[in-house]
A = this chain, B = another copy of it.
Amino acid sequence: MTLEVSSAVQDYAKAIYSLEQRGEGGAVSTNALAERLGVSAASASSMVKKLDGLGIVEHVPYRGVGLTEHGMSVALEVLRHHRLLERFLVEELGVPWDRVHDEAEVLEHHLSEELEELIAAKLGHPTIDPHGDPIPTADLKIVEPATLAMDGLDIGAAGRFVRVSDSDPEMLRYLGARGIAPGDTFEVVDKQPFGGPIFARFGSSDEVHPLGGRLAAAMRVSL
């Protein structure tokens, strides 16, 4: 009943989950899904019909889709695999953190439950992945802490850098090269107006790093 979930179906579930998280409102549009997955709108539409048949989504034509409870657990299962793998690859094999995403993207679909459990145990049942994203628990609960985008902060703001998207290797390399990682505390020391860069100090370092628009927007912080 749960085994006939192909990689494609898992990818759709994951994408819908992610779009539901971002987009406040309710339903995810078929087009948004298509774009996210790099697939034509027609393909996404037919796949959505199938997902509805499988009980993974609820589809209201012209209104979009939403994950069912079953669909949610499919999505969280894959997410757990993905994030555990990322953590495992970084900690046990020393894969650079800007490259783990692509590896995990492939392996997540082929990880057995047994291996998932052994990996989690080996890592001491971690709760976040190397990018600060929360890892769903074995019984598929997840807590997505509220965060702020760094580019919205004002001069003088201080807090903790908690999370950054794992999907842009460029950004990760930039941060990595400067020794900036999720978990670091920071302090905004300057900010250019009109979408200009933010200047911040991280951890106990004295160095001030410039963080350009897209980067500062991708960095999530808590105060």
Contacts and interface: CB of A to CB of B under 8 A. Distances in A.
A72 interface: no
A95 B110 contact: no
Interface string A103-114: 100110010101
Interface residues of A, number: 16
Contacts of A95: 114-115, 118
A103 B112 contact: yes
Main secondary structure, interface of A, reads helix
B114 A106 contact: no
Interface of A: 89, 92-95, 99, 103, 106-107, 110, 112, 114-115, 118-119, 122
5 contacts: A92-B92, A93-B115, A93-B118, A95-B114, A103-B114
For the complex formed by this chain, how many copies does it contain in all? 2
Contacts of A118: 93-95
A93 B93 CA distance: 13
A106 B122 CA distance: 21
Q: Which 7 A-B pairs have the closest CB atoms?
A: A93-B118, A106-B110, A110-B110, A107-B110, A103-B112, A103-B115, A93-B122
Nearest to A112: B103
A176 B107 CA distance: 29
A86 to B, nearest CB: 13
Contacts of A89: 115
